Every structure is written in C-alpha cells, then in structure tokens.
Amino acid sequence: MKWNKKDFTGTGKVFSFTLFQQLKSKANLVSFAIMLILIGASVPVMAFFMGDKSQSAEFSTLEKVYLSNETDYEVKPEMIQQEDPSFAQTLFIWDESQFPETLGEREAKVSIAEDATGYRILLSYDVFGEVKEEEMSRLQSAVEKAFFNARYQSLDISEEALSLLSTPFDITVETEGAYTGEGESYDFESRFWVQYVYSILVMIVSLFSSIYIIRIVVEEKSSKLVELLMVSVKPLALIVGKILAVMVYLFGTFISWIGVYLISYGITGLFMDVSGIKNAVLSSDAFSSLTHIDPLLIPVVLISLLLGYLTFSILSGIFGTACSSMDEVEGANTSVTFLVLCVYLITCFLPNFSGEWVFVVSSLCPLLSIFCAPVQYVLGNIGLGLLVLSWLIQIGVIYLLARLCAKIYFDLLMYRGSRLKFRQILTIAKRKGASK
C-alpha cells in the first residue's frame, strides 16, 4: 500500500476541529483552570513557607546544647558559632554537673569522645521535640569543623596556615572523552538526574497524549460517526489530524503552565522574598546536574520528545480504535500506561550500568531509545552519528506504526465488539485487502 497526497486530504480540517473542541471542552477548561490556579498559587505559598524557614534559619530553635568533650582538644562554643552563625543565640554548656537526665524540647547534647580507633562525635536530641533534623545536621557540620580546627590549633598552626589547610577541594573523575576535550564528564549523580528528569518528561508527555488520543478516538467511534466521516476523509487523515491537534493542545498546555509559573514568580517577587525558592532550586542536585547541559542541546531534546510523542500517540490511536465503547477506554489506557511505565522503569536502572554496549543498545533499541538516546548523547556517551541513527530508527518505527494504523484503521473503526488484543490487531493487518 502506497501513500499519496489524497490520504492526507482533510488533515488540516480534522486538526482544527479537534483542537477547537479540545479548547472548548468544559472538562478540559476546568482542569486547565485548576492547574493554572494551583501553579500560580504555588509560588507565593512556597515563598511564604520558605521565607519563614530562612527567618528561622537565622537563629536556631536550639536553646541549649550540652557539650561533653573527653578529648584533649578544646572545642569552644564560639568556634561552633563562628562556623554557623545560626547558633549565635544558643547557649552551650560544658559543665557536666549541669547536664540534665533527659533533654528538653529545644535541647541537644554533643559528646566528643576518643577510643582506640579514633574520635567519635555523638549528637543527641528529642526527635519529638521542636528541634528539626536539618538543624541537627547543621550542628553536626559546625561541630565537625570546630573539632577539625581545634585539632590543628593544638599544633600551634597560624591562622593563615589553618585557612590554607581548611580550604575545600573537589575531586572529579573524568572520562577519556572529557580528557581529550571531545566531551564532558558526568558523575553518577549527574547521569542519574539527567536521565531521571528527561524520562519523567517523556513519561508525562506519553501518558497525557495517550489519555487524550484514546479518549478522542473512542468518542468518535462510539458516536457512530465514522462512516459519515469516511465519505469525506481517509482514515490516515483522520488519525493524523487528531494526533497533531492533541500535540498542539498538550504542548501548549505545558508551555502555558511554565509561563504562569514564571509570571507568578515575577509578581510574587515584587511583594515577597522569593530567594528561598531560588536557593532551593539552585542548590538542588537536579538543577546543578542540568545546568551542566549546553543550551544548544535543547533542539536535540525537542526532536527526541517529538519522536517519542508520535510513537506513543500512534500506538494509542491503534489501541483506541480497538475499543468499541467508552467503557473500554480504561483498558486501552492501562495497556499504553503499562508499556510506558515498563520502558521508564528500565531507563531508571540504566545509570547503574556503564559500558559502551549499554549506551549503544539503549540508544538504538526501539521504545527504549525514546527515553535514552538524547540522554546518552547529552552525557557524551554516544556521538552525533549514533544519535541520528537512533532518530532514523525511531522514524522507521513511526512509519511502520503509521502504515499499520493506515492498514487497519478503517477495519478497526468499523469493528463493533469487545476490545481487540494487539495480537488480533496484527491478524487483521495480515488479512488480504485490509487496507480500507
């Protein structure tokens, strides 16, 4: 069966009608408005709570810290307070006679001890009290640094020498590609975050598109309008118009959500302190991993997303037409969701493996490549040639799926009965003359 221009006649009309009806749909409008309100409101709400947190972070809720030091090194309270000014108002008590039997709600105890293996620092607090876990982490960090400094000071080291010794340093292991300047180096955490964020993105796009496309296709089929439509448009134009309409609707929705978030961030910044949100985002592992990525690679991500969308949307169209009534939509959705989740879970485990064959196989294997190929390229694990090959394979899969769809779409649209399984769909496709 060859395609020609006639097969796509009317695609634009199907596209505009479907998109227009999606935009007019009351259910869609309500859910869209709710999402916009939630996203818009999330910024001031976050700013309120995070701003409060930063206020509280200025001075710790810890009122008293009992300091027990069994070593020869003198750890002074001001050393701890110097390391973390949030403890400036905290009272440090080292007189063991004043140590209580039990710790109060705003109290903690730090015990520094020495044994045969080395030094031990133990921090105790009431987990049901008012002291938060993160405050204890900060206390731990401050005590650790103060003890470190106390040890050097005991050796009569000058302030300059101490400063020199305590200057932080970072160790990075880079790949041969990065060494030769052909690619960047990414550690496990970066690889994990890049793969994780992109996979989530693909998953959201795939699941949303499948839900919308299956619903639209089944709605049309169950309305018994198909025969009337077939007089005017070919089956391929019908499904392509729908897929494009849902694509524009979904991507438009996502873009408007991002837009509303940014507008809300800007407006909130005029009235409230949004530095808490900014700092939280900037200090997150995901953000620091993603900022390594060259902005020029955005087209790579967009092309890959588009190919992923097309693959899953055509599959959804086929699964949708196998249903005869709206009652069967859930079953079709489950099938596509299961498929997407399976591929997603596999990609979640991939950062644990490294090796050229893993990168190549995950980038070329159909379906898996939707989630993996751009990530492997961004991480420098595969070259541009392999990425293009991956795209070509994906385009091939899309073409085959579209051909399968064109071959069986009419038969499936005219089919009335219980939901067909994929095996039965393939049987229909093999049947002679199953082109219309």
Partner 1 sequence: MSLIVSDLWKKYGEKTVVDHLSFSMEKPGVYALLGTNGAGKTTAIRMILGMLAKDGGEVLWNGTPLHLKSCNVGYLAEERGLYPKYPLMDQLLYFASLRDVPREQAKERIRHWAKKLEVEEYLYPSSSSTGIRGKKKEKPKLADQLSKGNQQKIQFMIALLSDPELIVLDEPMSGLDPVNTDLFKKIIREEIDRGKYLIMSSHQMATVEEFCTDITILDRSKAVLQGNLNEIKKSYGRVNLSLKTETDISSYIEQSGVALLSEKEYEYRLKVQNEDQANALLGLLIQNGVTVITFDLSEPSLHEIFVEKVGEGHEME
Residue 325 contacts partner 1 per CB under 8 A: no
Nearest to 10 by CA among 212, 191, 232: 232
Beta pairing, strands 118-125 & 107-115: antiparallel
Determine the interface stretch with partner 1 among 72-80, 136-144, 228-236, 298-306 (rule: CB under 8 A): 228-236
Question: Judged by CB, which is closer to partner 1: 5, or 169?
Answer: 5
- Closest CA relative to residue 353, chosen from 386, 376, 370: 376
Q: Check residue 230 for interaction with partner 1 (CB under 8 A).
A: yes
Q: How far is the CB of 6 from partner 1 (least distance, A)?
A: 8
Query: Rounded CA gap, 67 and 76, in Å?
Result: 9
Q: Examine residue 225 and tell whether it contacts partner 1 (CB under 8 A).
A: yes
The span from the CA of 252 to the CA of 128, in Å, is: 47
| Strands, sheet with 91-93, edge to edge from the N-terminal-most edge strand | 91-93, 64-69, 107-115, 118-125
* Sequence-separated (6 or more) residues with CB below 8 Å from residue 299: none
- CA 345 – CA 417 distance, rounded (Å): 33
25 binds partner 1 (CB under 8 A): yes
Cβ distance to partner 1 smaller for residue 256 or 435: 435
Residue with Cβ nearer partner 1 (183 or 317) = 317
Are 87 and 139 within 8 A, CB to CB?
A: yes
Number of residues located near partner 1, criterion CB under 8 A: 28
Binding mask 357-396 for partner 1 (x = CB under 8 A): ----------------------------------------
Q: Which stretch in 8-16, 200-208, 304-312, 328-336 sits in contact with partner 1 by CB under 8 A?
A: 8-16
Residues 389-428 that bind partner 1 (CB under 8 A): 410
Q: Are 217 and 192 in contact (CB under 8 A)?
A: no
Report yes or no: 136 and 79 within 8 Å, Cβ to Cβ: no
**Can you tell me whether residue 155 is helix, strand or coil?**
coil
Helices (H), 295-367: 298-321, 329-349, 356-364
* Single-letter amino acid code for the residue at 226: V
Q: Nearest approach, Cβ of 434 to partner 1 (angstroms)?
A: 8
Among 41-49, 224-232, 287-295, 299-307, which window interacts with partner 1 (CB under 8 A)? 224-232
Tell how strand 91-93 and strand 107-115 pair up.
Answer: unpaired
Q: Which of 31, 166, 223, 325 binds partner 1 (CB under 8 A)?
A: 223
Candidate list 107, 135, 220, 328; residue touching partner 1; CB under 8 A: 220
Residue 25 vs 418, nearer CB to partner 1: 25
How many angstroms separate the CA atoms of 392 and 140, rounded?
A: 54
Query: Which CB atom, from 101 or from 227, has the smaller least distance to partner 1?
Result: 227
Contact with partner 1 (CB under 8 A): which of 17, 48, 152, 261? Answer: 17
Give yes or no for residue 430 binding partner 1 (CB under 8 A).
no
Q: Which residues form the interface with partner 1 (CB under 8 A)?
A: 9-10, 13-14, 17, 20-21, 24-25, 219-220, 222-233, 410, 431, 433, 435-436
